[in-house]
Amino acid sequence: MLGAISSEIVRSWALRDTVGPRLFENLLGVRPSSAECWTDYKAHVARRNAVVHRGGNVSETEAS
């Protein structure tokens, strides 16, 4: 069981960090990497990181 989590002590809720996957699994009953949305999530993270960390661009379609 995940137990109580305070947003004041959790550094990140990302599904690739420590707490996020545990919360996801406790709420939905499936590991994030087994979820139907996992491929889309990984693509989103890669796109976001390209923009935030490397100054990349996204099209309006990609942003949607």
CB-based contact 35:28 (threshold 8 Å):
yes
* Domain membership flag for residue 8: no
* Domain membership flag for residue 35: yes
Give the model confidence (pLDDT) of 12-29 as tens digits.
Answer: 778 888 888 998 999 999
Residue 9 pLDDT greater than 90, yes or no: no
* Domain membership flag for residue 53: yes
Scan for tokens 């109580």, then name that residue: 4
Among the ranges 3-7, 12-16, 52-56, which has the highest mean pLDDT value? 52-56
* Domain membership flag for residue 1: no
Q: Determine the pLDDT at residue 4.
A: 60
The structural domain count of the chain equals 1
* Domain membership flag for residue 5: no
Q: Which domain holds residue 52?
A: 19-63
pTM over 0.75: no
* Domain membership flag for residue 48: yes
Q: Determine the pLDDT at residue 39.
A: 94
* Domain membership flag for residue 3: no
* Domain membership flag for residue 9: no
